[in-house]
Amino acid sequence: MVRPRDMAVDGKVLAAAGEELRHRGYDGLSIDRVAERAGVAKTTIYRRWPSKAELVVALIAHLREDVPFAPTDDPRGDLTNLVATIAAGLAATPPALVADLAAAAAREPRVGDRVRALWAERHAAVTAVVANAQQQGLVLDHVAPETLVDQLVGPLYYRLLVTGEPLSADYARTLVDSVLGKEPR
Amino acid sequence: MVRPRDMAVDGKVLAAAGEELRHRGYDGLSIDRVAERAGVAKTTIYRRWPSKAELVVALIAHLREDVPFAPTDDPRGDLTNLVATIAAGLAATPPALVADLAAAAAREPRVGDRVRALWAERHAAVTAVVANAQQQGLVLDHVAPETLVDQLVGPLYYRLLVTGEPLSADYARTLVDSVLGKEPR
Amino acid sequence: MVRPRDMAVDGKVLAAAGEELRHRGYDGLSIDRVAERAGVAKTTIYRRWPSKAELVVALIAHLREDVPFAPTDDPRGDLTNLVATIAAGLAATPPALVADLAAAAAREPRVGDRVRALWAERHAAVTAVVANAQQQGLVLDHVAPETLVDQLVGPLYYRLLVTGEPLSADYARTLVDSVLGKEPR
Amino acid sequence: MVRPRDMAVDGKVLAAAGEELRHRGYDGLSIDRVAERAGVAKTTIYRRWPSKAELVVALIAHLREDVPFAPTDDPRGDLTNLVATIAAGLAATPPALVADLAAAAAREPRVGDRVRALWAERHAAVTAVVANAQQQGLVLDHVAPETLVDQLVGPLYYRLLVTGEPLSADYARTLVDSVLGKEPR
DNA sequence: AGATAATCGAGACGGTACGTCCCGTCTTGCT
DNA sequence: AGCAAGACGGGACGTACCGTCTCGATTATCT
């Protein structure tokens, strides 16, 4: 009954915002400039995203790549793959962006919900594999799977945000080895 | 021959900036407001710190607290204490502040150096204890101590910044148990 | 073959617009708000009145009140009554509204026509009485009746719009006395 | 003790605003454009005048020409000159501008004060001459001088704002004649 | 005791971006 | 067609900070 939102707008705006974010960073991302670059009125942007933070959240969600995850009967391999994939994804994202999201999440509840939902997907995938591995007796079963997940994924964020050390596929393997024990054979 | 700088100014400004940083975050930290709150002219602030980032750098150095740590001959106890202390310290800090610092660190190299130096202290303390425990055969020695440290401390930041789950002393114990194996007897 | 226009719409819109005009003035009159207040779509308003100015034109025609005026054989009394009635009418209207109408009239020719027609009625009534009085020798006949009317009615607007002084019935009497000379007996 | 305001700014801004006002009218006067035209930051304008209305008030006050008034021993001549001068001044001002000022005055008390002060000067000059004439027996003394002033000046505004009739020097003379009586000789 | 020179407060200034409010036009589907 | 609902491009608003700049007024220290 009403004029529907122009679907193309979302794409144009997010594309423009992405460019800006990449080239100028979060602070330098100006709605005015995004609007101009997208060939769209500023009001149109604010009609869809109430603030810069929300726009960036949507942007991230848009950029999100599925963590393609096909479980095999080799939990160790699955886990290594998964952690390495997550590490690679994080390594490809500007650290400042991740930190900005964390900060926005901590300050604005609505943003927090969305950001947490974003990470939760990956978290859940890892949890599933870990639980699976545990059932097959590959992991010390005195530890809750959630804790193990924290110890597999947490270090990635720790390095990215805190120590600034690089995230390599090797590091992912090291983490899995530490949790599952050295390769049996 | 010249009028010396008023020593009290540094303190007043840093105190005011700290308040602002805590309550409004890095982005919301406004030099105008800091100047007003500190009862100091904006010029005076810019005379000492050439930018907001540098001011925050100085501020961070001020915020540092010692992690008091006295090693005993009980590495497991030492480790649990240390991790619990760090967890408590983090839990007492507004998550947004930690995230803001991470973001500022990622954006401004000089801020990054200082922030990393800030966390490095704690990191080093944990590393020492872990290495010590490893020498006493308490930990699987196929894993480098740095990795274990990441798996002890990383999850704390992960919870604080990413999942938003609480940081309890219990959680600290769980982490240590996971790394050292369940209490032998 | 076509759906007829909903007659009720005109009334609802003009009523809403009148409210807005009274409370917020011409500039503050927003079509968006009028539409909402009238429970009508903006499109519907624009279908009938092509612009804000035209809407106000229509509105003004609606606001017109008759100045009930029954001439007797006492011109002085008639004049005093008439001027007092006009003064009371003006005093009861928010000064800002009168000023806004004047401004709109000066800016938009079509509004000007309507507004002038609105006041002209009153003007004409006074002119008639003045001419009548003059014929009866009550007024110095070296002055054109139009001038006298200006001097009777003009001061009312002058006070309302310029000096801000109150418009009382007494003041109306004073004006008439000044023009006709003090009550003979 | 502080950096003084740049005196040149007032002039540049008011000049630019005057241009805009003349060419685009009150509504079309945009602070952004004024700032650009004056080569001044928008903030600088807002620092001095809190709103568009106040800026225009200042502008008018700036444009204000003294009503040069040298009393002679010929009150009738003085009065005619004075009223004619005021009429000429009003005739030279866009009616919409006068109406806008009246509207702004009616809505914003602060603006009202200023605008009234602006007109009050002229009002006072006329009052003085009228009182003078009355003392010399030129006017019927049963009428308060304030009333006569209203009847001399009010019609000018009435014509300008309400009836839209022209303001000529002749009309000024007619008004004076009506109040003082036809030229004795 | 002055001269000299940097410090400090106060706040003006040119800028950039923000998020809001309207305007008048448009698109869509229900009546 | 008329109408409700609301998206859209566009323009202006007034606010908040930024970092730079001018001013005195205020301390020292050096002559």
pLDDT in tens, chain A (185 residues): 778 999 999 999 999 999 998 888 888 899 999 999 999 999 999 999 988 888 988 887 777 666 666 778 888 889 999 999 999 989 988 888 888 888 888 877 777 887 888 888 888 888 988 888 888 877 666 788 899 999 999 999 999 999 999 999 999 999 999 988 766 54
C4 touches strand F (CB under 7 A): yes
Quote the pLDDT of residue A185. Answer: 43
Q: Do chains B and A touch (3 or more CB pairs under 8 A)?
A: yes
pLDDT at C184 over 80: no
C143 contacts D177 by C-beta, under 8 angstroms: yes
Instruction: Kindly identify which residue of chain B lies nearest to residue A143, measuring between CA atoms.
Output: B178
Closest partner CB to B95 (pick from A106, A120, A181): A106
**Cα–Cα distance measured from residue B90 to residue B84, given in angstroms and rounded to the nearest whole number:** 10
Angle between the N-to-C axes of helices B52-63 and B109-135, in degrees from 0 to 180, rounded to the nearest 10? 30
**CA-to-CA separations, C164 to B89, B169, D56, D61, D128, in angstroms, rounded:** 67, 74, 20, 19, 20
In Å, the largest CA–CA distance within chain A is 66
Question: What is the Cα gyration radius of chain C?
Answer: 20
Model pLDDT for residues C106-148, shown as the tens digit of each residue: 887 777 888 888 888 888 888 988 888 888 877 666 788 899 9
Element housing D185 (H / E): none
What is the residue whose two structure tokens read 């809750």? A144
Could D164 and C140 be called an inter-chain contact, meaning their C-beta atoms sit closer than 8 Å? no
Sign of torsion over alpha carbons C44, C50, C55, C61: negative
A36 touches strand F (CB under 7 A): no
Quote the pLDDT of residue D67. Answer: 65
User: Mean pLDDT of all residues in chain D?
Assistant: 87
Burial of A19 (0-12, 13-18, 19+ CB in 10 A): middle
Span of C29-38, C162-171, C176-185, D19-28 with lowest mean pLDDT = C176-185
User: Mean pLDDT of all residues in chain A?
Assistant: 87
Instruction: Kindly identify which residue of chain C lies nearest to residue D28, measuring between CA atoms.
Output: C107
The domain segmentation of chain D, as residue ranges, is 7-62, 65-180
CATH code of domain A66-180: 1.10.357.10
**Cα–Cα distance measured from residue D144 to residue C178, given in angstroms and rounded to the nearest whole number:** 9
Give the A:B interface size as CB pairs under 8 Å: 137
Question: How far is the alpha carbon of A103 from chain B, nearest alpha carbon, in Å?
Answer: 5
Sign of torsion over alpha carbons C165, C93, C106, D34: positive
Quote the pLDDT of residue D185. Answer: 43
Pure H helices in A29-107: 31-38, 42-48, 52-63, 75-91, 95-107
Instruction: Kindly identify which residue of chain C lies nearest to residue D25, measuring between CA atoms.
Output: C107
Question: How far is the alpha carbon of B169 from chain A, nearest alpha carbon, in Å?
Answer: 14
Quote the pLDDT of residue C139. Answer: 67
Chain F nucleotides close to protein (CB under 7 A) are: 1-30
Q: Considering only CA atoms, name the residue closest to the C1' of nucleotide E31.
A: C3
Q: What is the spatial distance, in angstroms and rounded to an integer, between the CA atom of A55 and the C1' atom of E23? A: 26
User: What residues in chain B have their Cβ under 8 A from chain A's Cβ atoms?
Assistant: 25-27, 94-96, 99-100, 102-103, 105-107, 112, 116, 119-120, 123, 140, 142-144, 147-148, 150-151, 153-159, 161-164, 174-175, 177-179, 181-182
Q: Which nucleotide minimizes the distance between its C1' and the CA of D6?
A: E12
**Cα–Cα distance measured from residue A165 to residue D121, given in angstroms and rounded to the nearest whole number:** 77
Non-local (6+) Cβ contacts of D179 within 8 A are C151, D139, D148, D151, D152
Tokens at B50, concatenated: 């050439």
C44 contacts C36 by C-beta, under 8 angstroms: no
Quote the pLDDT of residue D140. Answer: 67
Question: Which range scores top for mean pLDDT: B152-161, C50-59, C89-98?
Answer: B152-161
Question: How far is the alpha carbon of B122 from chain A, nearest alpha carbon, in Å?
Answer: 11
**Cα–Cα distance measured from residue C135 to residue C126, given in angstroms and rounded to the nearest whole number:** 14
Phi-psi region of D22 (alpha: psi -120 to 50; beta: other; left: phi over 0): alpha
Non-local (6+) Cβ contacts of B128 within 8 A are B71
**Cα–Cα distance measured from residue A80 to residue A126, given in angstroms and rounded to the nearest whole number:** 10
Instruction: Kindly identify which residue of chain A lies nearest to residue B145, measuring between CA atoms.
Output: A178
* Residues 107-126, chain C, CB closer than 7 Å to nucleic strand F: none
Q: What is the spatial distance, in angstroms and rounded to an integer, between the CA atom of A34 and the C1' atom of F4? A: 32
**Cα–Cα distance measured from residue B160 to residue C159, given in angstroms and rounded to the nearest whole number:** 69
Which fold does the domain D7-62 belong to in CATH? Answer: Arc Repressor Mutant, subunit A (1.10.10)
Quote the pLDDT of residue B22. Answer: 85
Sign of torsion over alpha carbons C95, C91, D144, D152: positive
Nearest to B161 by CA among B66, B95, B112: B95
Give the C:D interface size as CB pairs under 8 Å: 137
Q: What share of chain C is helix, strand, coil (3-state, %, to 5)?
A: 75, 0, 25
Model pLDDT for residues A11-45, shown as the tens digit of each residue: 999 999 999 988 888 888 999 999 999 999 999 99
Nearest to D27 by CA among C103, C162, C99: C103
Nearest to D102 by CA among D114, D87, D86, D85: D114
Tell me which chain B residues have a C-beta less than 8 angstroms from the C-beta of A106. Answer: 94-96, 99, 161
Q: Which nucleotide minimizes the distance between its C1' and the CA of D9?
A: E13
A143 contacts B97 by C-beta, under 8 angstroms: no
Q: Do chains B and D touch (3 or more CB pairs under 8 A)?
A: no
A179 contacts A148 by C-beta, under 8 angstroms: yes
**For D65, which DSSP code?**
P
Tell me which chain B residues have a C-beta less than 8 angstroms from the C-beta of A163. Answer: 116, 119-120, 123
Closest partner CB to A151 (pick from B100, B140, B155): B155
pLDDT at C78 over 70: yes
Burial code of C28-57, b = ≥16 C-beta within 10 A, e = fewer? ebebeebbebbebeeebbeeebeebbbbbb
Non-local (6+) Cβ contacts of B105 within 8 A are A99, A161, A164, B111, B112, B114, B115, B116
**Cα–Cα distance measured from residue A171 to residue A177, given in angstroms and rounded to the nearest whole number:** 10
The amino acid at B129? V
3-state secondary structure of A61: helix
Tell me which chain B residues have a C-beta less than 8 angstroms from the C-beta of A53. Answer: none
Question: How far is the alpha carbon of A117 from chain B, nearest alpha carbon, in Å?
Answer: 9
**Cα–Cα distance measured from residue B31 to residue B45, given in angstroms and rounded to the nearest whole number:** 8
Could A163 and B119 be called an inter-chain contact, meaning their C-beta atoms sit closer than 8 Å? yes
pLDDT at D130 over 70: yes
Nearest to B171 by CA among B160, B156, B150, B149: B156
**Cα–Cα distance measured from residue D16 to residue D29, given in angstroms and rounded to the nearest whole number:** 10
Quote the pLDDT of residue D156. Answer: 97
* Residues 20-49, chain D, CB closer than 7 Å to nucleic strand F: 29-33, 42-43, 46
C185: confidence class by pLDDT, cuts 50, 70, 90: very low
Question: What is the Cα gyration radius of chain D?
Answer: 19
C92 touches strand F (CB under 7 A): no
Burial of C141 (0-12, 13-18, 19+ CB in 10 A): exposed
No. of helices (H) and no. of strands (E), chain A:
9, 0
* Residues 13-72, chain C, CB closer than 7 Å to nucleic strand F: 39-44, 47-48
Question: How far is the alpha carbon of A4 from chain B, nearest alpha carbon, in Å?
Answer: 36
Sign of torsion over alpha carbons A159, A161, A166, A170: positive
**Cα–Cα distance measured from residue D10 to residue D38, given in angstroms and rounded to the nearest whole number:** 10
Q: What is the spatial distance, in angstroms and rounded to an integer, between the CA atom of B43 and the C1' atom of F21? A: 10
B160 contacts B100 by C-beta, under 8 angstroms: no
Model pLDDT for residues D42-97, shown as the tens digit of each residue: 999 999 998 888 898 888 877 766 666 677 888 888 999 999 999 998 998 888 88
Ranges of chain B whose pLDDT falls below 50: 185
Q: What is the spatial distance, in angstroms and rounded to an integer, between the CA atom of A61 and the C1' atom of F19? A: 36
B75 contacts B129 by C-beta, under 8 angstroms: yes
Which fold does the domain B65-180 belong to in CATH? Answer: Tetracycline Repressor; domain 2 (1.10.357)
Which one is predicted more confidently, C53 or C32?
Answer: C32
* Residues 27-86, chain B, CB closer than 7 Å to nucleic strand F: 28-33, 42-43, 46, 50-52
**For C39, which DSSP code?**
T
Quote the pLDDT of residue A58. Answer: 87
